[in-house]
Amino acid sequence: MTEPRQDEVAVPLEDLVTLVWGRNIRPDVFTRWSQGLEFSEDEPTALIQHEGGPCGIIVPLQASLLKNLLFSEGAPEQWNNLSADQAKQLLLMSLCEVFELCGVEKVVLVYQCTKKDKSGEEAMETGEGSGENTAAEEQEPTTQDTGSAQEEGPVAAVDEFHQSLRMRQFSCADNLKTMIESSYEIFHGRHGVLLFLYSVILSKGIENIKNEVTDPTEPLIDSVHGHGSQSLINLLLTGYAVSHVWDGDQDVAGLKLRGIPRQGKVGFLTLLEHLRYCEVGSYLKNPEFPIWILGSETHLTVLFSKEMTLVAPESRDAEARRIFKSYDPEGNGFISTILLGDVLRALDLCAEEEYVDIMQKKLDSEQLGIIVLEQFMQEFFANEEKSPIPESFTVYHYNGLKRSSNNGKVQYQQGKAMIQDLGEVKCVTTDNSAIKTCLATKWPGVEVLWDNDISPSLN
């Protein structure tokens, strides 16, 4: 076998495939993930997703792209009318940012090497390779034939893909953007999503990722349903493959569970928090830019706005309302009188027993057993500045699946949002959609009037 060049190394297929897929790769799941990074014909900067599954890669890249589109230096005013080359440059920036988030010292580029040039040496599948890309040593992927004659073709395709993989290593001292741009067709081609994922994993290091996830035996892609794990989403979103979305680390029965270590540039909200399956911390609920990945049980989408006050530092008034409401999960606008001490402690206010007793009698003078939010705020925070969030602002929603988009077109859907106190009725809608429920995990009083009166789908 031809010896690899100095800048080429063998792909550690067994460890890589096991980390991503587990011990078995379902051919139908692999097929759903076999797509490139492609833009919508109907929205120049919107990436499209052909089948369920690869949103775990596509959506974080889309969110990063929107950040660069809307808030980078020299961002265009006509942000929704860009050329194909401008959209490509934004995507290249986002691809580079993932490697930068992971803090890698060297970038590993994984590509397919299935063709031969005139000299007989293997070249990149894109056809742009030459004798520079000599074959690296191969290892067998961990896939198993089910024994079904009907599945021989798909299983063989999985094996053929992995056996064709090669990788080259680049120092980050080199121009990362130039390297990514010269390799753009790799990520744009048929297996571009997987080649990018493999490149990120090998750049960060398989062992580093195993040390960050809670359970290293759980694959990054669900072996049955094919969706990306929270660890995979967090890796693309923050550079850390941690399994939880709360702030920092938590000790649970002596077990250290790792969460998000710092504020994200892009945020994350999930319907699963409403269902009480998880807790999203402030690092993701309050990102640097007003862009949030929205998670349902099976899919990821993006909500974004140009209104920077949405991510302004939380005012003391807003903090007090948020903490009070955390003790009022039903949204009644009041808490039990006996919880006053807990609320005061959470707000770092005086919570001595004698003082709490006095305030309970004052705020519940009729002895109804409840303390109303507005009375609480008037007593403790009457002079605090309120949240800078405007009464209404424009938001947009992205869903990369054609089948989930209006008229089958992947386009940004516009809406007018209002965030109101639960005790005040400014706008009443009949919107009981999943997207409203998801947004309410951050803004309990949110209402959104969507264009054409059609609520976007989270699935």
DSSP calls for 351-375:
--HHHHHHHHHHHTTT--SEEEHHH
Considering the domain architecture, whether residues 423 and 354 belong to the same structural domain is answered as no
Q: Cβ neighbours of residue 27 under 8 Å, at least 6 residues apart?
A: 151, 154, 155, 157, 158
φ/ψ of 443, rounded to 5, equals -120, 90
Average pLDDT over residues 22-49: 95
Final residue of a domain: which of 335, 358, 380? 380
Higher pLDDT, 153 or 288: 288
Question: 345 and 196 in one domain?
Answer: no
Share of the chain above pLDDT 70, in %: 86
Q: Report yes or no on 254 lying in a domain.
A: no
Least confident of 113-117, 254-258, 417-421: 113-117
- Would you say residue 37 lies in a domain? yes
CB 294, CB 458: distance < 8 Å: yes
Report the DSSP pairing between strands 267-270 and 291-295: parallel
Q: Among candidates 55, 39, 32, which has minimal Cα distance to 302?
A: 55
Q: For residue 9, what pLDDT is reported? A: 65
- Residues 436-445, mean pLDDT to the nearest whole number: 91
Which residue would you say has higher pLDDT here, 331 or 315?
Answer: 315
Are 345 and 359 a contacting pair, CB within 8 Å? no
| Total of domains in the chain | 3
What is the average pLDDT value for the chain, to the nearest integer?
Answer: 86
pLDDT at 132: 35
Of residues 183 and 339, more confidence is placed in 339
Q: 4: pLDDT confidence band, cut at 50, 70 and 90?
A: very low
3-class SS string, 137-187: CCCCCCCCCCCCHHHHHHHHHHHHHHHCEEEEEEECCCCHHHHHHHCHHHH
CATH code of the domain containing 321 = 1.10.238.10
| Known catalytic membership, residue 55 | yes
Q: Is the pLDDT reported for residue 6 higher than 70? A: no
Question: What is the per-residue pLDDT across 264-311, written as a single tens digit (0 to 9) for each?
Answer: 999 999 999 998 888 898 899 999 999 999 999 999 999 999 999 999
Q: Residue 430's pLDDT band (boundaries 50, 70, 90)?
A: low
pLDDT value of residue 129: 38
Two tokens at 172? 């980050």
Sign of CA dihedral 12, 14, 18, 20: positive
User: Same domain for 28 and 172?
Assistant: yes
93-144 pLDDT, tens per residue?
999 999 999 998 889 999 998 655 444 455 555 434 333 333 333 333 333 3
CA dihedral 203, 165, 195, 157 (to 10 degrees): -150
Is 180 in the same domain as 35? yes
Higher-confidence position of 247 and 426? 247
Residue 327 inside a domain? The answer is yes
Per 3-state DSSP, the chain is made up of helix, strand and coil in percentages (nearest 5) of 40, 15, 45
In this prediction, residue 390 has a pLDDT band, given cuts at 50, 70 and 90, of confident
pLDDT at site 428: 54
Q: pTM value?
A: 0.80
Both 207 and 125 in one domain: the answer is: yes
Q: What is the extent of the structural domain holding 372?
A: 316-380
Work out the pLDDT band at 174, boundaries 50, 70, 90. Answer: low
Which of 55, 96, 113, 438 is flagged as catalytic?
55
Residue 421 Cα to chain centre, angstroms: 28
Quick count: other Cβ atoms within 10 Å of Cβ 338? 12
Residue 54 and residue 181 in one domain: yes
Do 199 and 325 share a domain, yes or no? no
**Residue 284 resides in a domain:** no
Average pLDDT of 331-356?
Answer: 94
Structural domain includes residue 228: no
Mean pLDDT, residues 244-250 taken together: 90
Task: Pick the most confident of 147-161, 239-253, 357-371, 380-394.
Answer: 357-371
Bridge partner residues of 401 (DSSP) = 49
Q: Please, which residues bridge with residue 112 across strands?
A: 165
The residue with greater pLDDT, 120 or 40, is 40
Asked if the model's pLDDT at residue 157 lies above 50, the reply is yes
pLDDT of 11: 81
Percent of the chain whose predicted confidence (pLDDT) is above 90: 64
> Is 69:45 a contact under the CB 8 Å cutoff?
yes
pLDDT of residue 222: 94
Q: Do 392 and 365 reside in the same domain of the chain? A: no
Residues 6 or more apart from 273 whose CB is under 8 A from it? 279, 280, 441
Supply the pLDDT for residue 422. 52
pLDDT at position 318? 78
The pLDDT of residue 177 is 84
Residue 173 has pLDDT above 80, yes or no: no
Which pLDDT band holds residue 77 (cuts at 50, 70, 90)? confident
For residue 317, the model assigns a pLDDT of 85
For the ranges 9-23, 283-297, 349-363, 424-438, the lowest mean pLDDT is seen at 424-438
Q: What is the DSSP letter of 191?
A: T
Please report whether residue 301 resides in a domain: no
Q: Which of 211, 237, 270 is the last residue of a domain?
A: 211
- pLDDT of 450 over the 60 cut: yes
User: Are residues 366 and 410 located together in one domain of the fold?
Assistant: no
In a domain, 15, yes or no: yes
Domain co-membership, 204 together with 320: no
Average pLDDT over residues 41-58: 96
Tell which of 380, 396, 418 closes a domain: 380
Q: Please say if the pLDDT value at position 219 is more than 70.
A: yes
pLDDT at 424 over 80: no
Tokens encoding 329: 């999960």
207 and 328 co-located in one domain: no
- What pLDDT was estimated at residue 131? 33
- Separate counts of helices (H) and strands (E) for the chain: 17, 15
Q: Is 397 a catalytic residue?
A: no
Residue 418: the pLDDT is 93
Examine the domain organization and report whether 374 and 397 are in the same domain. no
**Does residue 407 lie in a domain region?**
yes
Give me the catalytic one of 191, 227, 244, 299: 299
What pairing do the DSSP bridges indicate for beta strands 115-116 and 446-450? unpaired
